[in-house]
Amino acid sequence: MSYDDVKGAFQKGGASMRCSEVTKLLESLGFEVRDGKRGGHKIFKHPSIPSFYGSDFNCGHKKNSEVKRVYLKKILSVLNEYEVELERF
C-alpha cells in the first residue's frame, strides 16, 4: 500500500478499525509492530527513520478489538510528521 492509501485508511477509519488492520497498515509502511509489556499494548517504530524513536497504541484486552480513536489520531500525527521519510520508503 502507498503512504496515501494508509493515511486515508486512518482518516476514514474512525473507531471501527481493528487491531489487526492497524498493525497491517503500519507494517505496510515499514513499521515494526511488537507487543508491549501489558496486554493489548503495541509499540511501533521504523528502522529507516532514525529520528523516530517509536510510539504506541492499545488494542484492548479482547482478541482483535477496536483501537480507540485517540490512538488512531496519534498514529495519524506520526504519519503526518514523517510523511517525507515514509513516502521515500
Domain count, the chain: 1
Give the domain CATH number at 75.
3.30.920
**Domain of residue 70, residue span:** 3-83
Confidence of residue 60 (pLDDT cuts 50, 70, 90): confident
The answer to whether residue 89 sits within a structural domain is no
Residue 58 forms beta bridges with which residues?
41
The answer to whether residue 88 sits within a structural domain is no
All residues at 6 or more sequence positions from 48 whose CB lies less than 8 Å from its CB, including other chains: 30, 85, 89
Indicate the DSSP class of residue 71.
H
Q: What pLDDT, on a 0 to 100 scale, did the predictor assign at position 76?
A: 95
Q: From CA 42, how far away is CA 23, in angstroms rounded? A: 9
Residue in this structure with the C-alpha cell 511501533, named with its chain if needed? 44
Q: What is the per-residue pLDDT across 13-58, written as a single tens digit (0 to 9) for each? A: 776 799 999 999 999 999 999 999 988 899 999 999 999 999 999 9
The reported pTM is 0.92
Residue in this structure with the C-alpha cell 505496510, named with its chain if needed? 28
Q: From CA 3, how far away is CA 10, in angstroms rounded? A: 11
Report the 10 Å Cβ neighbour count for 49: 19
